[in-house]
Amino acid sequence: MPSLHELQRAFARAMLAGPADEACGAILDDGIAAAERLRVHRNTFRANLARTLRMTYPAVDKLVGEAFFDAASETFIARHPPHSADLNEYGACFPEFLDTFPAACGVPYLADVARFEWALNVAAHGRDTPTLAAAHLLSIEPNQHARLRFVPHPSVTLLALTYPADEIADAVLAGDDAAIAAIDLSGGMLHVIVYRGARGVEAQRLTTDAHRFLLRLHAGEPLGALLEDTRVNVPALLADALDKGRLTALRIDP
């Protein structure tokens, strides 16, 4: 008789790889084979996750079609089961999976579209956190400004993309064939910030310099060091970040 823990580990292996003797051996056949009974749960598990991936990655789904998406999600689910019961957190590494999924190599921009859609998902579901008000910043003594460090809102993602995934996703979901045909895939690297603003989820294109600056800002580098970056207008970028609710807190180094 297996212990509860042994049984749960064997059951988990059957969920990922299909019914096997160790799990089936613990289950009564009783008119219906143990493997068939296990499959009821495996089907539910996989269908729930496939549906979750489809909801998070609708443009990817539409780009590749149902059969391709089914095949990709089936492989992905077996390799990357969730770590949380919050399914809004499921599928973070789907873009990287698509990068290496052999059948996806004919669609070079697919993983970038997935990266963009994951950022939209994070923006939609990131936890509620009070945003930092510009007035709070103004209340801080100027002699302390160099030692300020900022914390980004949980909904914010900075993206560096090879393809214009934002345009592709919008055009694909709108079913706008003319817009899809007009997209220039050879424009080179582009940068986007995705976040939840006052009016909902927003995506904004950034210059390379602004992207690099915001990466450092979000990583918590002190303002003194950031102000040495002369390629960007630091006060303007900071004001924009505060205005759009993309910062939640600040710390002052002792």
Partner 1 sequence: MSVPASEDPVREGHAPVPACAGIGLRFQHHAEVIEQRPAVAWFEVHSENYFGGGKPLAWLDAIRADYAISLHGVGLSLGSAEGVSERHLARLEALVRRIQPVLVSEHLSWSAVSGMHFPDLLPLPLTEEALAVFCRNVGQVQDRLRRTILIENPSSYLRYRHSSIPECDFVAAVAARTGCGILCDVNNVFVSACNHGFDAQRYLSALPGGRVQEIHLAGHRVRTLDNGGEIRIDDHGSRVCDQVWALYADAIARFGRVPTLIEWDTDVPPLSVLREEAAKAERIMSTGWRHAVAA
Q: Which of 91, 95, 126, 245 binds partner 1 (CB under 8 A)?
A: 126
Measured distance CA(57)–CA(52) in Å, rounded: 9
Q: For partner 1, which stretch binds (CB under 8 A), given 76-84, 91-99, 179-187, 231-239?
A: 76-84
Confirm if 236 and 209 have CB atoms less than 8 A apart.
no
Structure tokens given for 68: 């391709």
Interaction between residue 82 and partner 1 (CB under 8 A): yes
Here's the x/- map for partner 1, 12-51, by CB under 8 A: it reads as x--x---------xxxx-xxxxx-xxx-xx--xx--xx--
C-alpha distances in Å from residue 136, one per residue of 17, 131, 160, 237? 54, 11, 31, 17
3 state SS of 245: coil
Nearest CB to partner 1, comparing residues 7 and 252: 7
Confirm if 48 and 78 have CB atoms less than 8 A apart.
no
Q: Which of 65, 67, 83, 138 binds partner 1 (CB under 8 A)?
A: 83
Q: Which residues within the stretch 179-208 sit at the binding site for partner 1 (CB under 8 A)?
A: 196, 200
Query: Smallest distance from the beta carbon of 240 to partner 1, in angstroms?
Result: 21
Structure tokens given for 95: 């873009």
Measured distance CA(19)–CA(37) in Å, rounded: 9
Nearest CB to partner 1, comparing residues 73 and 155: 155
Nearest CB to partner 1, comparing residues 11 and 109: 11
Nearest CB to partner 1, comparing residues 44 and 207: 44
Interaction between residue 58 and partner 1 (CB under 8 A): no
Distance of alpha carbon 96 from its chain centroid, rounded? 11
Measured distance CA(115)–CA(161) in Å, rounded: 8
Nearest CB to partner 1, comparing residues 86 and 184: 86
Confirm if 197 and 245 have CB atoms less than 8 A apart.
yes
Q: For partner 1, which stretch binds (CB under 8 A), given 59-67, 83-91, 99-107, 234-242?
A: 83-91
Confirm if 133 and 104 have CB atoms less than 8 A apart.
no
Nearest CB to partner 1, comparing residues 89 and 240: 89
Interaction between residue 86 and partner 1 (CB under 8 A): yes
Q: Which residues within the stretch 207-246 sit at the binding site for partner 1 (CB under 8 A)?
A: none
Confirm if 211 and 115 have CB atoms less than 8 A apart.
no
Measured distance CA(60)–CA(178) in Å, rounded: 18
Using CB under 8 A as the criterion, which residues of the chain lie in contact with partner 1 when the complex forms?
1-5, 7-9, 11-12, 15, 25-28, 30-34, 36-38, 40-41, 44-45, 48-49, 52, 81-89, 123-129, 154-155, 196, 200
